Structure 1
Amino acid sequence: MTEYSKKENEMNIEKIINFRKIPKSSWKAVGLAAYSWFTDSYDNTLYSILLAATVVLFHTNLFIMTVILWSMLITKAVGTFFFGALADKFGRRKMMILSFIWISVFTFLTGLSFNIYSFWVFRILYGVGFGAAWSVAATYAIEKFPTKFRGLGSGIMMAGFDIAYVSSAFIAGYFLAFPDGWRYAWFSGLIPGTIGALLMLTSGESEIWDKDKVAKRQTITEDIKSLFDKSIRREAILTFLFMTALNINAWALWTLYPDFLETVKGVASSSLYIYIGFWTLGSVLGKPLLGQLSEKVGRTKLFAIAMIVAIILAPFWVSLPATYILFPVIFLMGFLPNGCWGMVPAFIGERFPTANRGAGEGLGWLATSFSGLAPFIIALLKPILGFGNAIALMIISSAIPTLIIVLFMKDYHGRNLSEISLVKT
């Protein structure tokens, strides 16, 4: 073996050893954060999968369903921001437990809806706890994972969404074969939320938060106001703008796509899980891989590449026939434009001090309330441009501003979270 080969082998061994040094508590924390995303996204994607059946059942239309979805996202924004601030004051663990319970209750109650109005009310109330899972789980995950592998932990956490997507598609496809099967699909959401709350009871608090004296001493009002202090004001504004554009792009990609496949491409509802499976495979691989790759090349570069791919693939996303030819496009859309979400928890969390990180993450995820614009505008444009063209236009028109905004943002990958300071004005 040459001297170069020996050195290369030693470097590879060292990487494996370092990887194995990640504490079990860190793996558990990221696993619970990923499960938190699985739980709330299971419900959220059920909405998308059951959309066509709900329209028929309650004698409504796609436009009304997008309005209901947007209403849920508004309450979700409230929950995201204020639960994030509450997590700064009272701890990440307690807020995650509350989120699991909240999601379980209102997912179950959705299955008891007796008309479109009761359905609407349950969705609005669900949105509050739905938001909590996003900001609090993201903060908890990145604070519990080692710095050099933060992107990996961030990506693993976000992959929980995709597993929920394919799981909800499979469950919905199964139950829809039975009378009132849509109700049983919603009832099934009680199980993962209950399990999550029980698991969180056995988990420890974030050590970074636990050691931060400012976090426990400040009031919720002080926490929120501090986001506009001189040292992080620019970061807060850019984070909100970036997440607004990125959220609109994501919801343009997947929210109405199952309905598009079913109503335009002729895919049976019981077969949607096959197409969603390719998306899930791409995203589950993309999120942790891009997350860890971003520790080497930077997160902003990978976000930019992902948006360029979204722009290029958007026309093929809606024009190709629903055969094996479409599968590579679905995989790539899952891997890059959706896979880049694996970097988001770390990308946002690295911009804020510990005492404000929950609120900072909440500010970013609050932008999800604007993501409802995507299905809303698509529904408006559908009669004019056609379903497919409306989706493609929304993907492209949201990817462009996302690309521009991220190029103005600093890249903080590898930053020590406990050393970020807040300079008061």
Structure 2
Amino acid sequence: MQAFDWYREAAPAERRTFWGCFCGWTLDSFDNQVLSFLLPALMAAWHFSKTEAGLIATSSLLAAALGGWVSGILSDRHGRVRVLTGSIIWFTAFSIIAGFTNSYHQLLIVRALQGVGFGAEWAVGAALMAEVINPAHRGKALGLVQSGFSVGWALAAVITGLLLAYLPASIAWRSAFWIGVVPALVVLLIRRYIPEPEVFREMKRATGGAVVATWRSSFRADVRRWSLLAALLVTGLQASSYAIMIWLPTMLMQVRHLPVSTVALMATMMSAGSFIGQVGFAYLNDSFGRRFTAIAFCIFSASLTACYLFVPMDPWLLALLGLPVGMGINGAFAGIGPMLSELFPTEIRTTCMGFSYNVGKSLGALSVALVGAVAERMGMVGSIAVFCFIGYFCALLALTFLPETRGRDLTKVVADDEDYEPADLLEQASSTRR
């Protein structure tokens, strides 16, 4: 098929990188989303409130923000592949530990520590894929890698649904945390054969191995504006997406009074829609540009989400509508990786991407706890709607001021939307040493 010519033409290293990043995203999503399907069972077993449930999810996301920023700095210093491998070992180990917890507070601490590992996968993985693939196909490759999120979400829905349906609740939720070790071993095996990108190695040679990236790099004069606007974009998209994804199973069971099996089916439909949306966005992204496609998806998603939350419908219609809703709420994320990788220079790329994405993710994650808290007063449906629409407003505002970046050459550094020559890395390295 012509749509996959870019993959057939790719070099072996590009293909291995693609599958390593795709599987890593799938695993990250699986381990992260498992909790949303286990919350009702855990709330019943340990008797904690919606606000406390939201705090568990939020603590993990906030920790992921810190971990992602730190991982971005480490990646610019020591390499993309090395940092990604360490992150998988970290969050898989804490997933196993989570299965042994015996109280709300134990799980809260373990999930927060696990979140530190989640943060590395997005920014570092996106930069790795962006630096390896042909610029003409960057949107498609990164968008398809991002679709691994939907695959992980679907696996989380199916596996937790089966475990909760056929095993005693006390064993089922523990098994859901433990089972993540199997795909982790597969990902580690694939990543063993992925080299560091040539553009990264060239940057290291140009700087003589000098340390350029620090925590202050995201506020450098030439990138500060893009760092903050990108963070606002991610904040909006994350707030909207997490308000739906984390709280949807609980809302459907407690407000619509649907059984676990039906909720699992709806979540599976939504995750399938998410996959279709991300793949579709990936191809549209390369054809029509980053900004136009993202704006269209935000408007599309906001409209459908309103229908899903407020229009009365039977369970089967809810399940069917879950497909296009999933396309909207997660489709736009397929364009974040290409856009952010094209905004920042190689020597601080993952540092800036880690800052923008994870600051945005942490601010967006506040919607998870706030939905739970506000739901106590205005109801679950109204609370989800408020934070979804605030999120889309923030995303559209950021997209208004961000530049179009489609097809930029990553060997050139971007400064205030103008090319910045790689030779200037030597001067930066010298000033850093001084």
Structure 2 length-normalised TM: 0.90
Task: Give 1:311 shift.
Answer: 2.3
In 1, Cα distance between the equivalents of 2:6 and 2:118?
A: 35
Map of 1:4 onto structure 2: none
Which of 76, 81, 90 does residue 93 from structure 1 map onto?
Answer: 81
Map of 2:159 onto structure 1: 171
Deviates more, 1:60-69 or 1:316-325: 316-325
Map of 2:384 onto structure 1: 391
Structure 2: where are the runs of 5+ without partners?
A: 421-427
Task: Give 1:38 shift.
Answer: 1.0
In 2, Cα distance between the equivalents of 1:361 and 1:219?
A: 17
1:306 aligns with 2:294: no
1:269 aligns with 2:257: no
Which letter maps to 2:374? L
* Deviations, residues 181-215 of structure 1 (Å, cap 9, x unaligned): 11111110111122212221122222221221257
The number of equivalent residue pairs is: 412
After superposition, residues 352-371 of structure 1 pair within 5 angstroms as 352-366=344-358, 367-371=360-364
Map of 1:233 onto structure 2: 224
Map of 1:403 onto structure 2: 396
1:288 aligns with 2:276: no
Which letter maps to 2:87? S
User: Cα distance 1:216–1:378, how it changes in 2: closer, same or farther (>3 A)?
Assistant: farther
User: Cα distance 1:39–1:396, how it changes in 2: closer, same or farther (>3 A)?
Assistant: same
Which of 35, 43, 62 does residue 47 from structure 1 map onto?
Answer: 35
Map of 1:203 onto structure 2: 194
User: Cα distance 1:93–1:62, how it changes in 2: closer, same or farther (>3 A)?
Assistant: same
User: Cα distance 1:421–1:166, how it changes in 2: closer, same or farther (>3 A)?
Assistant: closer
Deviates more, 1:159-168 or 1:386-395: 386-395
After superposition, residues 308-323 of structure 1 pair within 5 angstroms as 308-319=299-310, 320-323=312-315
* Deviations, residues 311-339 of structure 1 (Å, cap 9, x unaligned): 21222122333423223432112213311
2:163–2:172 CA contact under 8 A, matched in 1: yes
Which of 117, 122, 132 does residue 129 from structure 1 map onto?
Answer: 117
In 2, Cα distance between the equivalents of 1:19 and 1:203?
A: 16
Which letter maps to 2:231? F
Structure 1: where are the runs of 5+ without partners?
A: 1-11
1:219 aligns with 2:219: no
Which letter maps to 1:387? M
Task: Give 1:149 shift.
Answer: 0.7
1:35 aligns with 2:23: yes
Which letter maps to 1:178? L
Map of 1:346 onto structure 2: 338
In 1, Cα distance between the equivalents of 2:7 and 2:196?
A: 23
1:191 aligns with 2:191: no
User: Cα distance 1:375–1:421, how it changes in 2: closer, same or farther (>3 A)?
Assistant: closer
2:230–2:357 CA contact under 8 A, matched in 1: no
Map of 1:252 onto structure 2: 243
- Give the % identical residues: 24
Which letter maps to 1:413? R
* Deviations, residues 148-176 of structure 1 (Å, cap 9, x unaligned): 11011111111111111111111111222
Map of 1:337 onto structure 2: 329
In 1, Cα distance between the equivalents of 2:314 and 2:97?
A: 35
1:166–1:273 CA contact under 8 A, matched in 2: no
Map of 1:104 onto structure 2: 92
SS in 2 for 1:105: helix
Task: Give 1:343 shift.
Answer: 0.9
In 2, Cα distance between the equivalents of 1:18 and 1:166?
A: 27
Taking only aligned residues, the RMSD between alpha carbons, in angstroms, comes to 2.0
In 1, Cα distance between the equivalents of 2:262 and 2:208?
A: 50
Which of 56, 66, 79 does residue 44 from structure 2 map onto?
Answer: 56
Deviates more, 1:122-131 or 1:186-195: 186-195
Task: Give 1:19 shift.
Answer: 5.6
In 2, Cα distance between the equivalents of 1:191 and 1:72?
A: 22
1:101–1:194 CA contact under 8 A, matched in 2: no
Task: Give 1:120 shift.
Answer: 1.2
Which letter maps to 2:123? S
Task: Give 1:87 shift.
Answer: 0.7
In 2, Cα distance between the equivalents of 1:182 and 1:327?
A: 24
In 2, Cα distance between the equivalents of 1:327 and 1:216?
A: 56
Which letter maps to 2:91? I
Deviates more, 1:348-357 or 1:316-325: 316-325
1:415 aligns with 2:408: yes
